Every structure is written in C-alpha cells, then in structure tokens.
Structure 1
Amino acid sequence: MIDGLDSVMLYVDNQEQSIAFWTKDLGFVIKSEDIIYDDYKSVEVAPSLDSETSITIFDKEFIREASPEVNLETPSLMFRVQDLDALYADLSNKGIRCGDIVKTPDGRVFNFSDDEDNYFAVKEAG
C-alpha cells in the first residue's frame, strides 16, 4: 500500500537555471544533489529541509537517454501558502510571470511560470 508522495520529478531543459529559479526566486532549499553518471545529476529541492514532499529536478537530455519511454511533460503542481497576497507581490516584484488571483470554491489561487514557461499554481491555505 502507498504511504504518501515523496517526490515529484521535474524534467527541464536547463537544470542550473531551474535550480536557481526554485532556490533563489522561490526560496526553496536543496535537500540533496546526486551525480547520476557523467555530468548528469539529480537535485532535490523543497520549501524546507523537513518538507514531506519535494521536487527532484532532472535534465531532459538525461531522461531521453536513460528512459526514452518517460513522458517529459511538466506535471501540474498546486502549492499552498498562508499569505497569498505577499507571495504574489514577491514573485511579481522579482519579474516572475503571475496570472491573476482568482477566487475558486476552494479559495483564492494564482499561477506562475518558470523560465521555461512551465506553469504552476498556488492556493491560499484555509
């Protein structure tokens, strides 16, 4: 039986740029960095070191070589935050493309994109 979700794998064209986006722009921390082989590595990032779920960033080229059957599309991720307005202002001030804040039946939500035009969403914790 499955106990939970450990990590979401994110496949990117520019791994270093993606790591910088998640750590510098969004304030995530690097939980681990492992050399897979040659120059390929996996880098696990999360909101904090004790976060239950993390994002593991892989170079798409590595995945194409090692596992050509894997779908390289970006997963649809929904994050949660206590102060949606503060995060929205922070990301906007950093020049990160953000969609409008929208009110849904589950609360307020907005989306944002990384440097590769992958979109993610964040909702206000209720």
Structure 2
Amino acid sequence: MINKIGKITVYVENQEKAKEFWVNKLGFVVKFEQPMGPNMTWLEVGPSEDEFTTLVLYSKAAMEQQNPSAIAHPSILFSTTEIESAYEKMKQTGVKVEEMLRMPFGTMFTFYDQDGNQYLLREDK
C-alpha cells in the first residue's frame, strides 16, 4: 500500500523567498522547478539530491483562488541525528528557533520559516 511520503505542500507568500530560506538557511537543494503559468512555478526542495520526500513550496495566493479550504497550517516533523549542531546552525543563519526541549522520549525544538509557519525538528538516534 503506502510505503513512502512523497511530497508535502507548504503554502508560501513568496516562492522565491521560500526557496531562499530552505536552500540558503537550511541547506536544502532544489529538486524540481518548472513554470506553471505566467505568475507561478512548481517548486520542490529536499534535504539532499538523494532524498525521495520533498516539500512543494506552493503559492498561497494561487491556492486561495483554486481551493481556499485546502490551506492549513503545516504540521511537519523533521528528523536529524545531530540536534545540537542543527540548532546552532539554524540560529547562526538567522532562523527563528524556540528553546530546545529535552524530554524523556527525545530532544527537539520548534523553528519557523520565512512566513511564520511552525515546524519541529527531532533527534533520531
């Protein structure tokens, strides 16, 4: 049946600013980019060239016109094996982060993208 997560759509105010955030601040790569018309691009980014799962950085304004009820706050949990390093690097590159949470079941922190969308980064060991 389902064996992978393929794409997660994140609705963004400005695709170029979103691309800059994910590529320049978090080290993602552009996996696919193609014009979809005069004012929009299909834009996918991922943690590496080899990673299957991608984020689709989709125009919020376009989706509001196409299907307003589809826009929701993203709930995405990312994984890392080096939480301390990731936390420091995000802070150094100007990513808004909350305090590190050290729980009995794992260490994690919340971070925000250029539009204020909230994400969680959790350490997998």
Secondary structure at 1:33's aligned position in 2?
strand
Q: After the TM superposition, which segments of 4 or more aligned residues of structure 1 sit over 3 Å from their partners?
A: none
Distance 1:23 1:80 in 2: 17
Q: CA RMSD in A?
A: 1.3
How many residues of Structure 1 are paired with residues of Structure 2 in the alignment?
125
> What are the superposed Cα offsets for residues 15-37 of structure 1, whole Å, 9 maximum, x if unpaired?
11111000000000000012112
Query: Could you tell me whether the CA contact under 8 Å between 2:25 and 2:94 is conserved in 1?
Result: no
Match of 1:96 in 2: 95
Distance 2:15 2:73 in 1: 14
Secondary structure at 2:96's aligned position in 1?
coil
Match of 1:59 in 2: 59
Distance 1:23 1:89 in 2: 17
Q: 1:93 Cα deviation (Å)?
A: 1.3
Identity among equivalent pairs (%): 28
Match of 2:73 in 1: 74
Match of 2:48 in 1: 48
Residue ranges of structure 1 left out of the alignment (5+ in a row): none
Secondary structure at 1:37's aligned position in 2?
coil
What is the TM-score of this pair, normalised by structure 2? 0.92
Residue ranges of structure 2 left out of the alignment (5+ in a row): none
What is the TM-score of this pair, normalised by structure 1? 0.92
1:84–1:39 Cα change, 3 Å: same
Distance 2:57 2:29 in 1: 13
Q: 1:80 Cα deviation (Å)?
A: 0.8
